[in-house]
Structure 1
């Protein structure tokens, strides 16, 4: 388990939880289809623009096919392992509650990064998932191992932050 206390810059003990998750089939689709589309764009003039537009698909698979989820006093962050500048971060004061439960991709719109009104998700598989209920009543879901530990830590850190601010 990747959950351990560390000291922060002020000498206080800070807890950090993190997990990485990859989807082999999503990465394989990205790795195989990107070169094929580039070759099609280079070789066949009449399909060049279509092939280049279709490159969005393998890039999306590569960007979301391997993720790292971190819970700390800064909040919850989910970032692409291959393109780490692609990330979503939720500060603790934006999270009303965290919970964990078994989740199927069909419940949250499918695989990869999903968005629908009121619900966004990063889903790489069926299984354990971290469910964040945000203060604006939207939900964000991340399928990740040991989501129960992550949810408990989010709730504990959020409560500690609220107590220290006198909320």
Structure 2
């Protein structure tokens, strides 16, 4: 985690060292419609500013890791810090390298180097994923410690939680239920859509550059549908399978055959126990977590796990366990 947070600082320093005297005193830092740059910055100032933002972002991300009792604040600061430090490194590399290669800042061509900036932005999301894994590891370790203490005192650890009333079901009966994400995820989708439209419109009016156009298209075509697709999910049990999909765009998130299940429990799903909010992947399993809510915790025969927050989790668990027992 710390390596990812502080690596951009090393990337900027290494890039400047390798470029050496080949980097002119002025660096091309902005490209619009033309392949040639239309914005320039003093190279020393640009290096100092990039390094400063990278250091500040790394420190913010580092400090956020200590806020384990405030997970939302932790994730927010980690996102801001990681995005700041990696974006700074991406912008520095994608500007200084083509400038050094051209020799003349006015003739610098961004070309494929713009993808360094895009790649850096995507890498900035990795610490958020690792954070969920880290939180899960910490929680598992705490749970094991509590279990050992409970056994030492001659007690059994309490794991049952209250869920929706269970209605008797037949193994062949179909189950279907939907779950809404919190309002902030809908707002995030609206924000991403707005950012995409803004970037594309800015480029169309001549005020943007190739990077903003590519980012705008990515926001509209990829990120916005993904966020809105996860804002409402549908869980169905039919044909001997558990299927989790987007209730907005209908794209599948996870399908599990009953024959691959070892057991299913209805329990309270806490986001930080399962890698965070949203569609999560972590070593040993995955989850679709909308909020802290009742849901299904599925143990698979290959020792992996899957969880999904859903109303009437008790009824879904009873139906899946009936199907599991029927197949044995």
User: TM-score, structure 1 length as denominator?
Assistant: 0.82
Are the structure 2 counterparts of residues 86 and 73 from structure 1 closer, same or farther at C-alpha, using a change threshold of 3 Å? closer
Match of 1:134 in 2: 300
In structure 1, the gaps of 5 or more residues are: 7-12, 163-167
* Secondary structure of 1:14's aligned partner: coil
Superposition map of 1:74-85 within 5 A: 74-85=240-251
Q: Quick check: which one's strand share is greater?
A: 1
Per-residue displacement from partner, 1:137-160 (whole Å, max 9, x unpaired)? 110100111212211110111111
Match of 1:16 in 2: 174
Runs of 4+ in 1 over 6 A off after TM superposition: 3-6
Larger deviation: 48-57 or 112-121?
48-57
In structure 2, the gaps of 5 or more residues are: 1-164
CA contact (8 A) 2:168 2:315 kept: no
Larger deviation: 109-118 or 44-53?
44-53
Match of 1:25 in 2: 184
1:52 has 2:210 as partner: no
Superposition map of 1:82-161 within 5 A: 82-161=248-327
Cα deviation, residue 39, structure 1: 2.4
Q: Quick check: which one's helix share is greater?
A: 2
Q: How far apart are the structure 2 equivalents of 1:136 and 1:50? A: 39
Larger Rg: 2
Q: How far apart are the structure 1 equivalents of 2:283 and 2:264? A: 19
* Secondary structure of 2:217's aligned partner: helix
Cα deviation, residue 68, structure 1: 0.6
Q: How far apart are the structure 2 equivalents of 1:4 and 1:156? A: 11
CA RMSD of aligned residues (A): 2.2
CA contact (8 A) 2:189 2:227 kept: yes
Q: How far apart are the structure 2 equivalents of 1:5 and 1:103? A: 23
Cα deviation, residue 4, structure 1: 8.7
1:34 has 2:193 as partner: yes
* Secondary structure of 2:216's aligned partner: helix
Larger deviation: 143-152 or 30-39?
30-39
Asked which structure has the greater RCO (Cα within 8 Å, sep 6+), the reply is 1
Larger deviation: 93-102 or 65-74?
65-74
Larger deviation: 43-52 or 64-73?
43-52
